[in-house]
Chain A
């Protein structure tokens, strides 16, 4: 049972990284970026294709992360140029358009055949009592927690963080005070895209290995993690991502509940919506 829960940490940590990216983008550039996973998947597939052409893993992965960054920067540029003053809902709708465009382009370019996805880390396991923990699980877990910690510190303790928060409070006002809001917003898109590519590369070996599936499958859990972090808390999103991964694994382990494992993220989103909207419902009822 415990081993089953541990087996969910790897998937959960990748979801945690993606969820944290979504929270970061929501706070900084006012968009629920539904294209986050697709951008990461595009970068991961660039790595995979380069690997198929004989590139060693590290340069191929670096090139994939760069490619994802470039796509993120492009999306950020479009958003900043055309939708700066648009509402969060409108900007999030634009992100859905990016998602559709990327999935369509990606499945056209990369096809639907399974791909040889390189294993970032060897199949080595660490034995803790009766429990085996894979190297990939440990690395992904450290990365997810480290990422949330670093982003929180960046926002709270550095000048760049102060500028980012100023931009988040009011892009136009910050720009008038000399904060390069537009460039910083594009930078946020680029950095989030790079992190998403790393998360997808880590999760991909244990996922369906075609572009469309990979782009879409991690999206719902990532949105659920971001929602459980109330779209505000980076550590909250990371904890939620890890919790979702473990929950899904435990549900899969139970023969009776296994067919419903895919519903776990959806249930989490419904719970968050129910909780956050309870006041409105009660007020209306009164």
Chain B
């Protein structure tokens, strides 16, 4: 009993501290020269490693801090590991917002964050400029605006590029079996059919890591598909390409953004020549000076340039530039208000359209892909500009 009362006596002031910090003033904001705390929830460990957005964002904030920070205040960038585990994601979000007093999130790449914490972010009214979002709920939350295209818009844009731009029709698509988004895949495909005025000849959202890809490629061949958009994991891509060759299918293949990594052309070897993938931002394998500011910060931090580190860097820059423009206290409320006024942000060519957060209930400002193709064993931009989806 004495112990319980003692615990209560200790816990109450702590809880009070927690509620003080939950408005984002105690450590993240204020008119002082205290550091501004910005959070990130990413899969830093666990079965699927996605630390890249956090690495890119940290490289940007490190460089910014060396130059004096935001209006003379250093950025305290706190990266929390969700391990792709919903319980961990939930705990980390509450810790960051209620204990660490962050003023917003930037650069996160997580498979569970939006589904698990989406409502919490709305209750807390805290903004999240995600680096790499795949879950459709990341694009339908008023508090979240990712910088990347996302898998669903990626499917629409991929089909549009292969079918409408390259004229390889009919197009077909194979996607992972994720029951929560299978209907959304259907909507993404319908959107392509509406925009392009073309029908998808075969679609399957039944691919699992154990699927017999030879059987699926037989169906692709039987349906007469001239092009195929396949969005599943990079580790399955070599088997898909081999299965295509096995059944004698000779169409054009475009992979999802997850395959745009250096290991894919190596794993595909000679079979990979002519295989396309999707870059959701400016292609990181391009030698264009557009990427120089990104490369400079990443190099200084010893971080490898990839699509996701580029996305993390960009989301950190958007968050920092937004905070820079705030007059008065930097709190989660003032950061959200500033982002809700941000309807056009020039990304200096890193995305097809200007980035937007804005006041809307759903955000998916990036409506384009840049197709990249394997040429001489490495990724090479397949076009000279983004392939942007028409608005209607």
Contacts and interface: CB of A to CB of B under 8 A. Distances in A.
Interface of A: 3-4, 7-8, 10-11, 112-117, 119, 123, 125, 132, 134, 136, 205-210, 213, 217, 245, 248-249, 252-253, 255, 258-259, 261-262
Interface residues of B, number: 37
A27 to B, nearest CB: 28
A206 B204 contact: no
Given A4-B218, A7-B215, A114-B263, A258 B239 contact: no
Q: Is the interface of B mostly helix, strand, loop or mixed?
A: helix
B263 A217 contact: no
Nearest to B237: A114
Contact of B242 (A115, A206, A261): A206
Interface stretch (B62-70, B266-274, B303-311): B266-274
A255 B208 CA distance: 14
Contact of A213 (B177, B204, B235, B242): B235
B266 A116 contact: yes
B134 to A, nearest CB: 17
Contacts of A3: 218
B268 A116 contact: yes
A255 B266 contact: no
Nearest to B265: A116
Contact of B215 (A4, A112, A115, A259): A4
B246 A8 contact: no
Contact of A116 (B211, B233, B238): B238
Contact of B206 (A10, A206, A208, A261): A261
Contacts of B235: 112-114, 208-210, 213
Contact of B267 (A115, A245, A255): A115
A223 to B, nearest CB: 14
Interface string B170-213: 00000001010000000000000000000000001110111111
Given A114-B264, A123-B242, A209-B239, 11 more contacts: A7-B218, A113-B267, A114-B235, A116-B238, A117-B267, A132-B248, A206-B246, A208-B233, A248-B212, A259-B205, A262-B210
Given A114-B238, A208-B233, A8 B209 contact: no
A123 B206 contact: no
A212 B139 CA distance: 31
A8 B212 contact: yes
Given A4-B215, A4-B218, A116 B267 contact: yes
Contacts, number: 104
Contact of A205 (B206, B218, B242): B242
Contacts of A255: 204, 206
Contacts of A210: 235
A160 B281 CA distance: 64
A98 B94 CA distance: 38
B15 interface: no
Contacts of B177: 259
B342 interface: no
A114 B218 contact: no
B214 interface: yes
Contacts of B267: 113-117, 209
Contacts of B266: 116
Interface in B243-276: 243, 245-248, 261, 263-264, 266-269
Nearest to B221: A3
Contacts of A136: 246
A123 B238 contact: no
Contacts of B218: 3-4, 7, 253
B211 A125 contact: no
B354 interface: no
10 contacts: A4-B219, A112-B49, A113-B263, A123-B246, A125-B246, A208-B233, A208-B236, A253-B218, A258-B204, A258-B206
B216 interface: yes
Contact of B211 (A10, A115, A119, A252): A252
Nearest to A107: B47
A206 B209 contact: no
B239 A205 contact: yes
Nearest to A123: B245
Nearest to A52: B266
A261 B219 CA distance: 15
Contact of A206 (B213, B219, B237, B268): B213
Contacts of B136: none
B210 A217 contact: yes
B33 to A, nearest CB: 43
Interface in B130-189: 177, 179
B209 A208 contact: yes
B196 to A, nearest CB: 23
Contacts of A207: 239
A42 to B, nearest CB: 17
A266 to B, nearest CB: 11
Which of A3, A210, A252, A259 has the most chain B CB atoms inside 10 A of its CB?
A252
Contacts of A209: 235-236, 238-239, 267
B177 to A, nearest CB: 5
A233 B243 CA distance: 32
Which of B210, B219, B247, B268 has the most chain A CB atoms inside 10 A of its CB?
B210
B86 interface: no
B30 interface: no
B243 A252 contact: no
Given A7-B218, A115-B267, A205 B238 contact: yes
B234 interface: yes
Contacts of B238: 114-117, 205, 209
Contacts of B205: 259
Contacts of A253: 215, 218-219
A217 B212 CA distance: 12
Contacts of B237: 114
A7 B239 contact: no
B37 to A, nearest CB: 31
A226 B56 CA distance: 48
Contacts of A132: 247-248
